[in-house]
Amino acid sequence: MKHTILIVSAVLSLSGCGVYKPYSRPQVETDGLYRDIPIEDTATMASLSWRELFADPQLQTLIEKGLQRNTDLRIARLRVEEAEAVLKNARLSYLPSVSLNPEGGIGRYDGATTKTYNLGASASWEIDIFGKVTNAKRGARAALQGSRAYEQAVRTRLVATVVNSYYTLLMLDRQLVVQNRTLVTWEKSVKVLEALKQAGKSNDAAVLQARANRMALESSVLALRRSIHQTENALSVLLALPAGSIERGTLDGQRFPEEVSVGVPLQLLANRPDVRQAECNLAQAFYAVNAARAAFYPSLTLSGSLGWTNSGGAVLDPGKWLSSAIGSLTQPLFSRGANRANLKIAKARQEEATLLFRQSLLDAGKEVNDALTAWQTARRQVGIAGRQIATLREAVRKTELLMRHSPTTYLEVLTAQQSLLAAELAEAQVRFDEIQGVVSLYRALGGGM
């Protein structure tokens, strides 16, 4: 009989050894993930600290405040603590559970009083033959890694949002300076046209057109001030601070690398926190399948107790020792299909997690391509905008000269000034787009530490 039990146990062990199989990453294709990007080395700007990339001291102060105070990031850190507690609990599942069971009683029968007590302790230990506890621990570890990846994702998104908000303020400041300077020019233009009208060299239409343009510019200045206040308020909320003014530098004072390095596509698996989180979810689903398989196999539990009792004698007389030891083997026979259904659900969730993991890598590659294209395009546009502004300034100067020495009307001067204003505002926007391209690329590559 003993040999039979050993043989059965060996067969069950061999049939259930698959539930101990550790997670391994599925095959993923990274070739061609970057579009039209030369891969020369493994260096990537994601390896830079945000302090190295964003050197503006006022911006660094804002980022540090955000990392300390932001609500979403603090919640993400609490989730990491929760996952650490779950993992600790899973590790302790290997240890036996011990409890004290003191009992006492008093009774009276036929005029005699009886006092009894039992002072005992019991222990129970489930032997992890088929990996139920092991898979629970591995799943908890994967959940902890996923929580840490989520925390980094929130951190990366926070840094990028603070940076974008800061540079949005710098862009709006630059546009406000341009519009205020242009408003002064329009004020002079209106006075010049009024003087020309009195001299008979202009007409009411020109004066009215100039006044209308000035009023439109005044309205634009008010709209810019409103946008600045709204952006400051949004950034303050992001930093978990009351709404207020934000100390900042200037758009022209910002410096960034002339060239960027995206590294190799395979690095996205290690750098991108959302990709890592998706893989951790896949690992959790893998161990959930193992646990569902383990439910088909028997569980072995060892339990015992030790104590003493007075056996109905005097309270101070300990009587005799009590001890017991039990080993139980529980094999599920009929669970109304619950175990089979649970396994089917776990496999479906594992397949879903696999698809989401592969899709997260494709999404990461798309973001890198989009960010790099946006940065490259904005850099070219900045150069074009600079040449366009220089050309329009020269056009304004020559138009003003022509007006003094030829029949050229002042409306042509106003038109040239309007074109110059639009170009200067557009130059501030494309300069911001260039910076935003750097920020987006840094985040797309998994930077933000």
What tokens does 167 get?
Answer: 């540079």
What local confidence, expressed as pLDDT, does residue 320 receive? 66
Residue 103, in any domain of the structure: no
Residues 398 and 413 in one domain: yes
Quote the CA–CA distance of 21 and 286 in Å, as a whole number.
10
Listing DSSP states for 116-130 in one string gives EEEEEEEEEEEE-SS
HEC string of 216-241 equals HHHHHHHHHHHHHHHHHHHHHHHCCC
Same domain as 417, residue 387: yes
Q: Are residues 219 and 177 in the same domain?
A: yes
Tokens of 122: 């019991």
309 and 421 fall within a common domain: no
Residue 44 DSSP one-character state: B
pLDDT of residue 311: 58
Question: Which of 331, 352, 378 delimits the end of a domain?
Answer: 331
In the listed set 282, 313, 331, which residue is the last one of a domain according to the structure?
A: 331
Tokens matching residue 77: 């850190």
The 10 Å Cβ neighbour count of residue 318 is: 14
Helix ranges (H only) for 308-409 are: 338-405
Q: Is residue 9 part of a domain?
A: no
> Is residue 228 within 8 Å of residue 173, measured between CB atoms?
yes
Residue 89: predicted pLDDT? 82
Structure-block tokens of residue 31:
């070739």
List the domain range (segments joined by +) for residue 361: 56-98+132-296+332-444
- Kind and range of the H or E run holding 71: helix 71-92
Same domain, residue pair 78 and 227:
yes
349 in the same domain as 326: no
What is the end-to-end Cα distance of the chain in Å, rounded? Answer: 63
Assess whether 308 and 431 both reside in one domain.
no
Residues 220 and 152 reside in one and the same domain: yes
Domain termination residue (choose one: 306, 331, 356): 331
Q: Is 242 helix (H, G, I), strand (E, B) or coil?
A: coil
Assign 115 to helix, strand or coil.
strand
Which of 285, 287, 279 is closest to 20 using CA atoms? 287
pLDDT in the model for residue 7: 39
Two tokens, residue 146: 């996923």
Find the radius of gyration of the CA atoms of the chain.
37
CA distance 420 to 408: 18
Sign of CA dihedral 289, 76, 261, 427: positive
User: How far is residue 408's CA from residue 224's CA, in Å, rounded to a whole number?
Assistant: 34
| Position 420 in a domain | yes
pLDDT for position 163 = 92
Q: 438, 256 in Cβ contact below 8 A? A: yes
Residue 258 sits in the same domain as residue 292: yes
The C-alpha atoms of residue 410 and residue 431 are separated, in whole angstroms, by 32
Say whether both 284 and 360 belong to one domain: yes
One digit per residue, the tens of pLDDT, for the chain of length 449 reads: 444 444 345 444 544 456 778 888 888 887 777 776 665 556 677 778 888 888 899 999 999 999 999 999 999 999 999 988 988 888 777 777 777 777 767 777 666 777 776 777 777 777 777 778 888 888 889 999 999 999 988 999 999 999 999 999 999 999 999 889 888 888 887 887 788 778 776 677 778 888 888 898 899 999 999 999 999 999 999 999 998 899 998 888 888 777 777 777 777 887 889 899 999 999 999 999 988 888 888 777 777 777 666 654 444 455 566 666 676 666 666 666 788 898 899 999 999 999 999 999 889 888 888 888 888 888 899 899 989 989 988 888 888 777 666 655 667 777 888 888 888 888 988 998 988 888 888 888 887 66
Q: Is residue 5 part of a domain?
A: no
Residues 6+ apart with CB under 8 A from 382: 427, 430, 431, 434
Q: Are residues 180 and 232 in the same domain?
A: yes
Identify the CA nearest to 284 among candidates 188, 162, 149, 96: 149
CATH number of the structural domain spanning residue 379: 1.20.1600.10
For residues 421 and 419, what is the distance between their CA atoms, to the nearest angstrom? 5
Among 17, 2, 5, which residue's Cα sits nearest to residue 129?
Answer: 17
Helices and strands, counts by H and E, the chain: 10, 5
Q: What is the pLDDT of residue 223?
A: 94
Give domain status of residue 161, yes or no.
Answer: yes
Residue 185 included in any domain:
yes
Using an 8 Å Cβ cutoff, are 150 and 228 in contact?
A: no
Cα 417 to Cα 258, 392, 421: the distances in Å are 32, 8, 6
Number of domains forming the structure of the chain: 2
Q: Residue 176: what pLDDT?
A: 92
Q: Quick check: helix, strand or coil at residue 328?
A: strand
Kindly state whether residue 216 falls inside one of the protein's structural domains: yes
Per the CB < 8 A criterion, the answer to whether 168 and 175 are in contact is no
The DSSP H or E segment spanning 19 is none
Three-state DSSP class for 106?
strand
| 297 three-state secondary structure | coil
**Do 200 and 323 fall within a single domain?**
no
**285 within some domain:** yes
